[in-house]
Structure 1
Amino acid sequence: MKRILLLAMLTGGIVVNGMAQTKTPVGSLGKNDPKAKAILDGVSKKFAQLKSVVANFVLKVEGANNSVTDSKKGTVYLKGAKYKVNLDGQELISDNKTTWTYTKDANEVTINNVDPNSTSLSPAKLFTNFYDKDYLYRLDGETTEKGKVLQNIEMTPTDKSKNVFKVIVSIDKKGQNIAKMKVYEKNGNHYTYEITNFTPNGSVTDATFSFDPKKYPGVEVVDLR
């Protein structure tokens, strides 16, 4: 589950809607889709104006045959570049300088420095313009799910050595929020992250984004800094 939690830092059935759009290869001639960029820029701009975000999500893990093998509920807290993810007895915390990964069953926390040059997709990066540097992208049409019109953007990493070869980001057209993300791995596994509740400008203190060992009696600390 540690690997699944890290994938969740990126952060149901879909009924195809209306008119089909002409699809072009992702990053055709090395260029990105300007329509997709406009949508992603809109999400980034809106997020930059928020003081904080609290979002609940459901993570579904699917095997190569599209069967759901696991489903977990989680919560992510965001404030600028700081974040905290709670998922099934695990916590991932970052104050943008240090990250703490805590596993409840083992009562263990691993500490690392934040690498500013890392291309990993953290929760904070997910709502910024990370896509311009690390991905090629195109608009893959609109779909309707649970009464919401979603704009689906297909993204492929520019670094082809990554285990993830494709990500579908679904944007709520009306709310300009990320509604869902589906991550495709080369081994055939899929991970779907569906946002079930999105609360902007909630009450989130800076203490949320640090790990206090006093609150975890007997915790084993693995400091890799």
Structure 2
Amino acid sequence: MKKFVLTGLLLSGIVFSGMAQSRGASDPKAKTILDGVSSKFKSLKTVVANFVLKVEGANNSVNDSKKGTVYLKGAKYKVTLPGQEIISDNKTSWTYAKDVNEVTINNVDQSSGAMTPAKLFTNFYDKDYLYRLDGESNEKGKVLQNIEMTPTDKSKNIFKVMVSVDKKNQNIARMKVFEKNGNHYTYEITSFTPNAATVTDAIFTFDAKKYPGVEVVDLR
């Protein structure tokens, strides 16, 4: 299993070519819940969230799980997974692979529809998905509001996304992506720390001095 596949869910791997046009209508109850998540996230200065990323291949061909952490401040983010870091200050992005001690640098395309960790907590859903409330469930002492989302662009490999929102805290607790090829990706938040004082701007840049001998691939 390539490490970049494990990053796919966090960055969603959902890249849209142009703005999708809405077809049909979304459930207003689901919109109220998602708007609450977005509003709360926008009110926070910083966020640190630990997560578990699970990959399930079609016919049990792949079954993998990794723990990671995401740091967020506005549109800036840093994702750490075993052997990999992805960093963005919203102008430049750095992807570091530990096994080859290599960092790839790119400009951030502001016009791109690619999903980022920050967008997962904001109103990404309005332009590219139809959504409906799929009831509530009780898990680990929490009431989760489950929302089924379907892309408006049916040509994409993603055909469904299930988002579970912690009803009490208005945080995303879990997101599961279903692909047409049978692969499933589950992104589960295990802890969510708002306004963490340890999150500074320095986190959102790559300091090559801390990685002796790192090979730099600058694609800007």
The two structures have a TM-score, normalised by structure 2, of: 0.90
2:7 is the alignment partner of 1:2: no
1:216–1:180 Cα change, 3 Å: same
Q: 1:50-109 deviations in whole A, cap 9, x for unaligned?
A: 010000001111122468711110000000000000011100101011111111001111
The correspondence of residues 1-225 of structure 1 with structure 2, limited to 5 A, is 1-10=3-12, 30-65=24-59, 69-203=63-197, 204-225=199-220
Separation of aligned partners in 1, 2:217 and 2:152: 33
1:165-203, Cα deviation, whole Å (9 max, x unpaired): 211110000110000010111211111111111100002
Q: What CA distance in whole angstroms lies between the structure 1 residues aligned with 2:89 and 2:155?
A: 29
CA RMSD of aligned residues (A): 1.9
Moved more, 107-116 or 51-60: 107-116
- Structure 1 runs, 4 residues or longer, greater than 3 Å off: 65-68
Partners in 2 of 1:188 and 1:147 — Cα distance? 31
Question: How many residue pairs are counted as aligned between the two chains?
Answer: 210
Q: Hey, what's the Cα distance between the residues in 2 that align with 1:149 and 1:186?
A: 29
Structure 1 segments unaligned to the other structure (5+ residues)? 12-26
| Inter-partner Cα distance in structure 2 for 1:134 and 1:214 | 40
Distance 1:3 1:68, change over 3 A: closer
Number of the residue aligned with 2:16: none
The amino acid of 2:214's aligned partner reads V
- In 2, Cα distance between equivalents of 1:28 and 1:140: 20
CA contact (8 A) 1:136 1:155 kept: yes
Q: 2:9 touches 2:186 (CA, 8 Å); kept in 1? A: no
SS at match of 1:105: helix
Contact 2:51 2:191 in 1 (8 A): yes
TM-score when scaled to structure 1? 0.88
Residue 157 of structure 1: how far off its partner (Å): 1.9
